[in-house]
Amino acid sequence: MIETDICIVGAGPAGLSAAAAAGEAGASVLVVDENFKAGGQLFKQVHKFFGSENHKAGTRGIRIGEQLLDRARKAGAVFRLRTLAYGFFENGVLGLYDMDSQELGLVKAKKYIFATGAIENVLPMKGGTLPGVMGAGAAQTLMHLYHTRPGNEIVMVGSGNVGLIVSYQLMQSGAKIAALVEAAPKISGYEVHARKLLRAGVKMYTSTTVSEIKGEDQVEEVVLTELDSDFKPIPGSEFSVKADTVCVAVGLSPLTELLQMAGCKLYFSKVLGGFVPLHGRNLKTTHDDIYLAGDCSGIEEASTAMEEGRIAGIGASAEIGFGTDKADELIKQAQERLDELRQGPFGDRRKSGMEEIFTEYEKGAWA
Amino acid sequence: MSRYFPQDTEYFSKLPGYPSQERMKKGPVALIECNQCIPCNPCESSCRQGAITVGSQITNLPVLDEEKCIGCGICAAACPGQAVRIIDLSKEEGIVAFPYEYLPAPQKGQIGNALGRDGSVLGQARVVRVDAPKAYDHTMVVWVAVDKEIAKEVCSFGGKD
Amino acid sequence: MTNLRITEHPILDIPADTKQVHVYFEGKELLAREGETVASALTSYGIRAFRTTRKRHEPRGVFCAIGRCTDCMMTIDGRKNVRTCMTEVKEGMQIERG
Q: Where are the domains of chain B?
A: 9-158
The residue-averaged pLDDT of A184-206 equals 96
Which of the four pLDDT bands, split at 50, 70 and 90, describes residue B104?
very high
User: CATH code at C64?
Assistant: 3.10.20.440
Write down the pLDDT at residue B122: 97
Q: Is the pLDDT of residue B161 over 60?
A: no
Which of the four pLDDT bands, split at 50, 70 and 90, describes residue A252?
very high
- Smallest CA–CA distance from C38 into chain A, residue: A146
Q: What is the pLDDT of residues A78-96, one digit of tens each?
A: 999 999 999 999 899 999 9
Q: What is the pLDDT of residues A37-78, one digit of tens each?
A: 999 999 999 999 999 888 889 999 999 999 999 999 999 999
The partner residue sitting opposite A199, judged by closest CB among B35, B38, B119, is: B119
Instruction: Kindly state the percentage of chain A with pLDDT values over 70.
Output: 99
CB contact under 8 A, A255 and C68: yes
The answer to whether B101 contacts chain C (CB < 8 Å) is yes
The residue-averaged pLDDT of B128-153 equals 98
DSSP A141: I
Would C11 be classed as within a structural domain? Answer: no
- The count of structural domains within chain C is 1
The partner residue sitting opposite A148, judged by closest CB among C4, C10, C11, is: C4
Q: Mean pLDDT over all residues of chain B?
A: 95
ipTM over 0.90: yes
What backbone torsions phi and psi does residue C64 show, to the nearest 5 degrees?
Answer: -100, -25
Would C1 be classed as within a structural domain? Answer: no
How far lies A160's CA from each of A57, A320, A342, B52, B101, in Å? 20, 41, 17, 28, 21
CB contact under 8 A, C11 and B103: no
Q: What is the pTM assigned to this prediction?
A: 0.97
CB contact under 8 A, B101 and C11: yes
CB contact under 8 A, B103 and C8: yes
Which of the four pLDDT bands, split at 50, 70 and 90, describes residue A346?
confident
- Smallest CA–CA distance from A204 into chain B, residue: B1
What backbone torsions phi and psi does residue B30 show, to the nearest 5 degrees?
Answer: -70, 145
The partner residue sitting opposite A142, judged by closest CB among C11, C43, C69, is: C43
**Structural domain boundaries enclosing C91:** 21-96
Identify which of B155, B44, B149, B34 has the alpha carbon closest to the alpha carbon of residue B97. Answer: B155
The residue-averaged pLDDT of A96-109 equals 96
CATH fold of B9-158 reads: Alpha-Beta Plaits (3.30.70)
Q: What is the pLDDT of residues C43-89, one digit of tens each?
A: 999 999 999 999 999 999 999 999 999 999 999 999 999 999 999 99
Identify which of B120, B127, B63, B124 has the alpha carbon closest to the alpha carbon of residue B100. Answer: B127
What backbone torsions phi and psi does residue A225 show, to the nearest 5 degrees?
Answer: -135, 140
Q: Is the pLDDT of residue B74 over 80?
A: yes
Would C70 be classed as within a structural domain? Answer: yes
Q: Which of A145, A148, A149, A217 to mutate to test the interface with C (most CBs of C within 10 A)?
A: A148
Would C40 be classed as within a structural domain? Answer: yes
Chain C residues near residue B138 by CB distance under 8 angstroms: 10-11
Report all structural domains of chain A as residue ranges with CATH numbers, in order of start.
Answer: 2-119+252-363 (3.50.50.60), 122-248 (3.50.50.60)
- How many Å apart are CA C28 and CA B23, to the nearest integer? 65
Chain A residues near residue B101 by CB distance under 8 angstroms: 172
Which of the four pLDDT bands, split at 50, 70 and 90, describes residue B76?
very high
The residue-averaged pLDDT of B109-128 equals 96
Would C72 be classed as within a structural domain? Answer: yes
Write down the pLDDT at residue B1: 41
The answer to whether B130 contacts chain A (CB < 8 Å) is no
CA-based max dimension of chain B: 46
Which of the four pLDDT bands, split at 50, 70 and 90, describes residue B84?
very high
* Pairing status of strand A176-181 against strand A153-157: parallel
Chains in contact with A, where contact requires at least 3 CB pairs less than 8 Å apart? B, C
Chain C residues near residue A217 by CB distance under 8 angstroms: 49, 59
CB pairs under 8 A between A and B: 118
Q: Is the pLDDT of residue A120 over 90?
A: yes
Q: Is the pLDDT of residue B2 over 50?
A: no
CB contact under 8 A, A58 and B4: no
The residue-averaged pLDDT of A349-362 equals 95
The residue-averaged pLDDT of A320-332 equals 97
Would C13 be classed as within a structural domain? Answer: no
